[in-house]
Chains A and B, each alone.
Chain A
Amino acid sequence: MRATALFAGSLVIALALWQFLSTVVFNPFLIPPPLVVLQTAAPMAKSGEIFRHVAISLARVGVGFVTGSAAAIVLGVLLGRLKVLNELLDPIIELLRFLSPTAMIPIAVIWFGIGETSKYFLIFWGTFFIVLINTVAGVMRAPIIRQRAALCLGASPVQIFLLVVIPSAAPYIVTGMRIAMASSFMSIIPAEILAADSGIGFLLQQSSVLLQTNRIFVALLTICVLGFIFDRLFRIAVDRMLSRYMSYIALT
């Protein structure tokens, strides 16, 4: 109850500050006030324009995030377990992870064109390294005591791996995925600004060229809301399905 009130209070303050900046400090062209943004958003929503862009951006984030996470978890688990492989690949990973998705846009466009594939690739790229590094850390930090305890109870190496190591790493993997999802929502925008003819990033780019600051604000607001909603959904899903793996962190 109190949290809800504070949340609402926070929104009210933000709107008031927004209105103030728009009308007093700057001007309504540079910062369109909340009401103008709402008036701009209504027809865009009614015509379905905004939802078309949202859907296409979400699809790109979805495909890139899911494939990137899956690949990173598989490789991360192997690297966390096989020391030689880790020592072999770690230097490459440590170098490549500094190439942000944005840095990869120019070459992605040349490799894959401006179609969907290049966007999938860029989101995949951004997701992959974040989830990979977290997965490796999680697998490596599975407590040795827990593995030894399982070993002398009679567990086989495969059982230790599947029933002890992977669940022990789950909180790390999930945390990595959550960060990667936030980063995916950020990196899809530059990708669409520079190399797309649809999506929220494209909407931003198009509105900027036409100096439509009100439409830019609608797009920016959409990004905020989308990121927020999906982060919440992710947390709820984790709470529902993985809570028994997540809740014990305080214990170890």
Chain B
Amino acid sequence: MLAVRNVRKLYGADARAYLALDGIELQVAAGEFVCLVGPSGCGKSTLLNILAGFEAPSGGAVDFEGSPVRGAGKDRVMFFQDAGAALLPWLTVEENIRFALRVRKVPKVQWPATIDKYLAMVDLAEHRHKFPAELSGGMRQRLQIARALAVEPKVLLMDEPFGALDALTRRRMHGFLLDIWQRTGKTIVFVTHDIAEAVTLADRICVMSLGPGSRITHVLPVELSRPRDLSEPRAAALYKRVEALLA
């Protein structure tokens, strides 16, 4: 579904140029949950921005469903860690979703039903008239999920979405995201530097090396049934393996 071929990304020009990514190869199948893990500053977010079409690669190509990615596309919705910045803070919960439906040109008659459906899905129905500032961090992320799902994209690109949440809320969000993923069959590319998060969520874990010229060094399939228990020996072994690769 998503094919990344020999992508490189160069920032700046001449002697001070920085090669962020070099020779990135990645195939993502429809309905797959892929996690990109790597140390801070390895270019995970850059790669995600290229997949989203926010930034163009300096070399190589990204194909989405067989045609090259040129700019942001409606089928690939990005999901940001900073929900406070990504949401429209002057709109209520409900209005944020309505905004998405409006710009997506969804017929007006469908709005109420769609809004109800996705607010119920993320458990925010009773908070629909609140503003994002009145929500907790986890609730804001759930609103961002609802808003992204409401426009029915094929791919969710998630940039450390739960990085700023406390451990308990994060675990709840994992269950939540997996549940939605299994119900809707979306393709998910998920960036994180938290190995436990990757082991909990992914079908495949792509390990990236530290830049400059960062690349995907290992691709590890995760053949564990969900929900996963990280203290289970095979999960723990996988955790150790990824940790060793990153060290």
Contacts and interface: CB of A to CB of B under 8 A. Distances in A.
Interface string B128-151: 000111000000000000011001
9 contacts: A145-B82, A148-B54, A152-B153, A153-B74, A153-B151, A156-B103, A247-B133, A251-B84, A252-B85
B73 interface: yes
Give the residue among A145, A244, A252 with the most B Cβ atoms within 10 A. A145
Interface in A142-187: 143, 145-146, 148-156, 159, 163-164, 167
Interface of B: 52-54, 72-74, 76-78, 80, 82, 84-91, 99-100, 103-105, 131-133, 147-148, 151, 153
Contact of A152 (B74, B89, B131): B74
Given A145-B86, A146-B85, A252-B84, A244 B78 contact: no
Interface residues of A, number: 23
Nearest to A244: B90
Nearest to B75: A152
B85 A143 contact: yes
Contacts of A244: 90-91, 131
A26 interface: no
Given A244-B90, A247-B133, A154 B105 contact: yes
A207 to B, nearest CB: 48
A168 B76 CA distance: 24
A198 to B, nearest CB: 43
Nearest to B157: A152
Contacts of B105: 154
Given A247-B133, A248-B133, A251-B84, A151 B89 contact: no
A245 B80 CA distance: 21
Given A163-B99, A167-B90, A154 B151 contact: yes
Nearest to B147: A153
Contacts of B77: 152-153
Interface of A: 143, 145-146, 148-156, 159, 163-164, 167, 244-245, 247-248, 250-252
A159 B74 CA distance: 15
A250 B133 CA distance: 8
Contacts of A163: 88, 99, 103
Contacts of A143: 85
A152 B152 CA distance: 12
A152 B52 contact: yes
A251 B103 CA distance: 24
A248 B90 contact: yes
B90 A152 contact: no
Given A145-B82, A152-B77, A153-B104, A252 B88 contact: no
Nearest to B151: A153
Closest 9 CB pairs of A and B: A248-B89, A155-B103, A154-B104, A149-B86, A244-B90, A145-B85, A143-B85, A154-B74, A251-B133
Contacts of B86: 145-146, 149
A149 B143 CA distance: 13
A149 B97 CA distance: 12
Contact of B80 (A149, A167, A248): A149
A252 B99 contact: no
Contacts of A167: 88, 90
Contacts of B104: 153-154
A153 B71 CA distance: 13
B73 A152 contact: yes
Contact of B88 (A146, A148, A152, A247): A146
Contact of B72 (A151, A159, A247): A151
A153 B133 contact: no
Contacts of B151: 153-154
A244 B77 CA distance: 26
A234 to B, nearest CB: 19
A151 B147 CA distance: 13
A186 to B, nearest CB: 32
Nearest to B150: A153
Nearest to B74: A154
Given A244-B131, A247-B133, A248-B132, A153 B100 contact: yes
